Amino acid sequence: MTHVSIKELTKIYPGSAEPALDQLSLEIPTGELTALLGPSGCGKTTTMKMIAGLLAQTSGDVLFDDRSVLNDRPEHRGVVMVFQNYLLFPYMSVADNVGFGLKMRKVPKPEIDRRVAEILELVKLPDLGSRRPSELSGGQQQRVALARALIVQPNVLLLDEPLSNLDAHLRFEMRDLIRGLQQEMGITTIFVTHDQEEAVVLADKVALILDGRLKQYENADVFYKRPIDEATARFFGGQNFVSGKSNGLVFESALGKLALPEGAISGSGKLTFRPENIRINATKTDENTLKAVVNERIFLGTQTRLRLVVGDEKLDAIANPNEVENISTGDSVNISLPASSLWVLPK
Amino acid sequence: MSDRLKIALLLAPALSIIGILFFGGLLIGFMRSFNYMPVIGLTDPDLSAYAAVFTSKEFYLSFLLTFHIAFTSTVLSSILAIGAALLLRRTFIGRSLINFLFQLNLTVPHLVGAIGMLYLFSQSGSFARLGAEWNLISKPSDFPAMVFDPYAIGIILQYIWKEVPFIGVIILANMQSLGEDYESVARSLGANKWQAFIHVLMPLIFPGVLSASIIVFAFTFGAYEIPAILGASYPKALPVLAYQKYTDVDLAARPEAMAMAIVIALLSALMIYFYVRYTRRRIRS
Amino acid sequence: MVGKESFSVRSFRVLTGIVLITWLILPLIPLAIWSFAKGWFFPDLLPKRWSMQAWDYALSDTAGVIDSLWLTIGISLAATALSILVGIPAGRALGMYKFKGKELVELLILAPTIVPGIAVVLGIHSVFISMGLNNTVSGVILVHLIPTLPYMVLVMSGIFANYDPSFEAQARSLGASPIKTFWHVTLPAIMPGIIVGGLFAFLVSWSQYILTLLIGGGRVVTLPLLLFNFATSGRNDITGAIGMIYILPGIIILLLTAKHLSGRSGAVGGFGQI
């Protein structure tokens, strides 16, 4: 039960001119699950190690419940970090791995055994205590690493790319396990990932870090609907950007005049909308309708991607294959861009 | 050509050379230690050489001394090497110089180190002169005997000088490939620095330390020139004693020398057993 | 790991570093000083008189040091060349193939790297008598193969374990004969390994004492034997000069190969024997 505040946290590695992390500030409320999202090498793991006390910051502060923990040794911070490659101690059994933190705290052996059995039950590995880590699958190793962290009942749990080493079918299982345990135990949890899907699937809130700086810190869906700039939109798979001018109500561009949702900014900027929000085969009653020519049609299995041309503008659309079955390259179609799916980015 | 034949042909030259020279040498030594050598008319093997060796007080003293040299040198070198590797793991002023000196030291033959130790620690050596300079001693014989001494201090010092870099370089590479993340995990799970070292780093580097130590133990047990330069005249280190017996004017002493050589070989066979056992285990895990 | 280190921890680190540096070069210092000393008596910390006498003697034609140097170089080169020649095929077999009895073969090759020379050389001496190999340079070269060859095989098997034979298949499919394939494809690929392994095998042979002493029988006087004789006869100045000459190849090889000397390369294992 800890509120984590990060204040202008900066890390410059010796011999490097560019900061690995540049004045990051974040407030992570008690019990929330927050994702630090960014491309590889953007300073995510550096941030985690500084929160855990495993790396010294160049400047800035880390506070738990408004108390600076910079002078606390890592073993006294109540923060446990789970590394991406799990790092189970190879010479110990699974049970000894899980009980490690308790042993370091000199908890009596019978109690360690009891709690290890309990937590292995919780991560659904009740019978594997005597195995060696090398005998486990990747998913099982991940759960052992999680159990090893949770058994010490940390105030803050840090997870480094928790789903990235897992197969697709294991990801959802692990996601449910992590979310379930995290909610049940109410541990403030921060995880880092380079995968926007992983961030959205797992986190309450997402902090996007690009080039060592915090770009946007919001609920996951905001990144799709209301990205702060083009780089953020692109990171989340945004494809369509049209230059033009907004008066706050209407956006004027090569696409003509399009009605905007409430809260859109004024001035010259870029209009963005997600490929999946373009409605194909629009009727007259739909808002913001346009005529487009299908330039290319790519079947992707569960969806179909259309490359559209409106005047000189190229647009990307994603549609349900059934809905666009009768459309072929060169056809002219009516499309609609619902006002609620539009957003204006500053130039 | 079948793979089997190809492999056999590829291995044949190396295996014949090693087989004839090394194992042949061992075998002949073994036979002669039993006074058995049909080519020169010795056709009745007996145990007289072993009887002579195992009833001689000199042999036991010599064996104990050699074991003491090998054991003490190996243990101290391993401990100091772990310390040195821990030191060299961090960046600090002078690290690259120490790294270079470690490597330099690997290329300097033991014999040179032994002579250096002689000039440093003998009773008229550099340290005795320093002692005189600071009025701690007035004449060479006041300086404690550290070479030609019964405790083999000079020999052990020279082995430490040579083997700390040898074991250290191996452990350092081991540590570098492990990285620091295992210890980070331990720290974040609540281990303090010391606990992380004892419960995590040590078990991880132990196989490497052990295999290097085994090589060092076997070497220090069987080396000739270092105890020949720095050792006392009685008791002698076992290899020195064996050589002396072998080159004795009395040819009858040769089987005894062979018997001692076999004792050294048996001890190193034991070392090979440990070495293989532990390297195999490393491969499995 | 934890980046913030207190001042005292850092000072301790630097202090132990200084002690370590001093200790590592300490034994070589009196050796170097002696080679330039003209009488250096207790309790003088430094010689009262300096001279080049020992060096003049060591480098003169009559003293035999130069002859001994060439002899030692020749023996070590020959032992190294033979080890390379025989070590490459054996290393290839061990590095690239899995076969029945491989563990036993590895054990047979590992054994000479651990068993001390004194344990086998007495037996070899008895055999070499009848073969007329004692007291000859060829006998010494042969016996030097005991430490150098297994070492070379181990290095080469490490090289071949990381070697991709499909390059050879590619060359053959492009029309190269087996010999041309070896010459133009295999050899260039394993060359770095051969050079590093060869240099270290050279050092292993260079440092042999007891094998040369016994098989050479006092007739084949390599540099370490000469050094030992001068050291035990109390000619400290000449000992110093020969000692300096004796460690020179090691330093040169170190400067050529420093990056291969980390413990991660299999090459370092051979240094247990130097």
Interface predicted TM-score of the whole assembly (ipTM), two decimals: 0.91
Query: Do residue B128 and residue B232 come from a single domain?
Result: yes
Task: List chains adjacent to chain A, taking adjacency as at least 3 C-beta pairs closer than 8 Å.
Answer: B, C
Please tell me which residue of chain C has the smallest CA distance to A53.
Answer: C2
Residues B19, B104: one domain?
A: no
Across the interface, which of B187, B192, B203 has its CB nearest the CB of A54? B187
Mark yes or no for CB contact C274/B187 under 8 Å.
no
The dihedral sign for the CA sequence A153, A154, A160, A162: positive
Q: Give C 129-188 residues with CB within 8 A of chain B.
A: 130, 142-143, 145-146, 149-150, 153
Based on the fold, state whether residues B206 and B254 are members of the same structural domain. yes
CA B23, B26, B31, B32 dihedral sign is positive
A12-18, long-range: CB within 8 Å, 24+ apart, which pairs?
A12/A58, A14/B91, A18/A212
Structure tokens at B99: 């790294």
Task: Confirm or reject contact between C10 and chain B (CB < 8 A).
Answer: yes
The hierarchical CATH code for the domain C49-273 is: 1.10.3720.10
Residue B214, domain member (yes or no)? yes
Any B CB within 8 A of A134 CB = yes
What's the number of domains chain B is made of?
Answer: 2
What CA–CA distance (Å, rounded) separates A134 from A128?
12
CA distance C142 to C151: 15
Which residues of A touch chain C, with CB atoms under 8 Å apart? 53-56, 73-74
Residues B146 and B275 in one domain: yes
Nearest to C227 among B106, B111, B257 (CB): B111
Question: Which pLDDT value is given to residue C3?
Answer: 47
Q: Which CATH number fits domain A246-346: 3.20.20.70, 3.90.420.10, 1.10.3720.10, 2.40.50.100?
A: 2.40.50.100
> Could you give the CA distance from residue C194 to residue C177 in angstroms, rounded to a whole number?
23
**Contact B191/A73, CB-based, under 8 Å?**
no
Boundaries of every domain in chain A: 4-224, 246-346
| CA pair distance C168, C178, nearest whole angstrom | 9
CB-count burial class (<10 Å; 0-12, 13-18, 19+) for A167: exposed
Q: Model confidence over A15-46: pLDDT tens digits?
A: 888 888 888 899 999 999 999 998 887 888 88
List the single residue in A75, A132, A134 with the smallest CB-CB distance to B187.
A75
Asked if the Cβ–Cβ distance from A73 to C2 is below 8 Å, we say yes
Q: How far apart are CA B50 and CA B256, in angstroms?
A: 7
Whether residue B51 is contained in a domain is answered as no
Domain interval for residue B167: 57-284
Beta bridge partners of A35: A191, A206
Q: Kindly state whether residues B125 and B16 are assigned to the same domain.
A: no
In chain C, the largest separation of any two C-alpha atoms, in whole Å, equals 76
| Position B6 pLDDT exceeds 50 | yes
Q: Which two tokens stand for residue A200?
A: 């959205």
Q: What confidence category does residue C218 fall into, taking pLDDT thresholds of 50, 70 and 90?
A: confident
Q: How far is B219 from chain A (nearest CA, A)?
A: 29
For B64-77, write each residue's pLDDT tens digit.
Answer: 999 999 999 999 99
Average pLDDT over residues A7-14: 90
Q: What is the pLDDT of residues A168-208, one digit of tens each?
A: 888 888 888 999 988 888 899 999 999 888 888 889 899 99
Mean pLDDT of the region C43-55? 89
Query: How far is it, in rounded angstroms, from Cα B32 to Cα B45?
Result: 9
Residues of chain A above pLDDT 70, percent: 100
Is the CB of B108 less than 8 angstroms away from the CB of C145? Answer: no
Q: What is the pLDDT of residue C261?
A: 59
Q: Which residue does chain A place closest to B284, by CA atoms?
A: A134
Contact with chain A for residue C1, Cβ under 8 A:
yes
What tokens does C3 get? 């980046």
Query: 10 Å Cβ neighbour count for C248?
Result: 12
Q: Are strands A266-273 and A279-280 parallel, antiparallel or unpaired?
A: unpaired
Of C29, C145, C263, the CB nearest to B21: C145
Cα separation of A276 and C202, whole Å? 70
Search chain A and give the residue with CA nearest C4: A56
Mean pLDDT computed over A244-258: 89
Which of these, A133, C124, A260, lies nearest to B285 by C-alpha position?
Answer: A133
Indicate if B40 and B71 belong to the same structural domain.
Answer: no
Burial of residue C261 (CB within 10 Å: 0-12, 13-18, 19+) is buried
A53 shares contact with chain B (CB less than 8 Å): yes
Q: Which two tokens stand for residue A329?
A: 């390259």
CATH code of the domain occupying A4-224: 3.40.50.300
Domain boundaries, chain C: 49-273
State the chains in contact with C (3 or more Cβ–Cβ pairs under 8 Å): A, B
* pLDDT tens, residue by residue, B50-97: 999 999 999 999 999 999 999 999 999 999 999 999 988 887 777 788
Q: Are B139 and B210 found together in one domain?
A: yes
Which token pair is B92? 């600090």
A102's tokens: 């308790």
Q: Which amino acid is at A8?
A: E
Give tens-digit pLDDT for C99-145: 988 989 999 998 998 999 999 999 999 889 888 999 999 999 999 99
